[in-house]
Structure 1
């Protein structure tokens, strides 16, 4: 997708290798550590350590059937999300909005733009994502946007510190699905 300004002063574009450090910093700030507590998407109470790293972000950027949609305001990266074409559906992940900008509707607008992109690029019939089941507030936010819980769960990758250090022993992911 070419960079294009939106009416709200945002520019949506595909991430490049040059964005990796900014994107890692954004994702970490939205989910881990004290800075994440400024917003409401923090995972700091259930996971310590890193949320992602440069290798993980670069892997998403280089995905042949997807990438990382990057959102800028005034030349500064303020949000991102992973979009990937997977057979008959699209996958939505690695969604982060700067904690200072959370709660003002930006996340809703970006997720809607991602859904439009998945329909336009791949004619995807559904959007899939996984969310940690302990994140009831986040799941409720997605449900208000039309996602439904499937009850299909996968275990959290305990022991793989690349994804964080769990502070609980009951973490798992649940698949959420939305018809596009």
Structure 2
């Protein structure tokens, strides 16, 4: 008889999580390991996705949280939440390639949306996605995010964000209006 996996737990990242989170994020997006999942950027970017300093900055920044998603004490995913006035920013989202396609992403983004509504009272979630990532953008659209057509340039020449393998990379802003929480809750 199959048993359901243990539930996910969500907690704020600590300094001691930095090495594991860097490895998780890198494995989800870059290099051969990332090809085990569907979120790989290995065909458009080489080099690093993040580094310990970048993760530490997100953990320590005021109005920022880096959620660690665990099962049985093992980190399976993470996401950044940043309070930006009337909206929250969702970023640094990574699910371990071996656990992609299990529905974890849907659960994590729903919890992230619930968290920013409850903790910060925001009614909109913003994110940026590399505009050529059509499969990823379509996934977010199925979760209620809409394309805005507002683009920002990719930071070519700054290897902290990777080494581009093509010259047409830019970030598109995606936005989702979050449902209001009834006053009785």
Q: 2:43 — aligned with what? A: 45
Alignment of 1:54-73 (within 5 A): 54-73=52-71
Unaligned runs of 5+ in 2: 179-185
Structure 1 residue ranges (4+ consecutive) displaced by more than 2 angstroms after TM superposition: none
Q: How far, CA to CA, are the matches of 1:30 and 1:157 in structure 2?
A: 20
SS in 2 for 1:92: strand
CA distance in 1, matches of 2:138, 2:61: 29
Q: Aligned runs of 1:66-85 on 2, under 5 Å?
A: 66-85=64-83
1:56-113 residue CA offsets vs partner (Å, 9 max, x unmatched): 0000001110210001111111100000100100000000000000011000100000
> Larger radius of gyration, structure 1 or 2?
2
Deviations along 1:122-174, whole A, 9 cap, x unmatched?
11110000000010000000000000000000000000001000000000000
Q: Distance in 1 between matches of 2:158 and 2:122?
A: 31
Looking at structure 2, the residues matched to 133 and 71 of structure 1 have their Cα atoms a distance apart, in angstroms, of 26
Q: How does the TM-score come out when normalised to structure 2?
A: 0.93
Q: Which residue of 1 aligns with 2:111?
A: 113
Q: SS of 1:20's equivalent?
A: helix
Corresponding residue number in structure 1 for 2:181 = none
Counterparts in 2 of 1:57 and 1:176: CA distance versus 1, 3 Å: same
Query: What is the match of residue 30 of structure 2?
Result: 32
| Cα root mean square deviation, aligned | 0.9
Query: Mind listing any 5+ residue stretches in structure 1 that lack a counterpart?
Result: 1-6
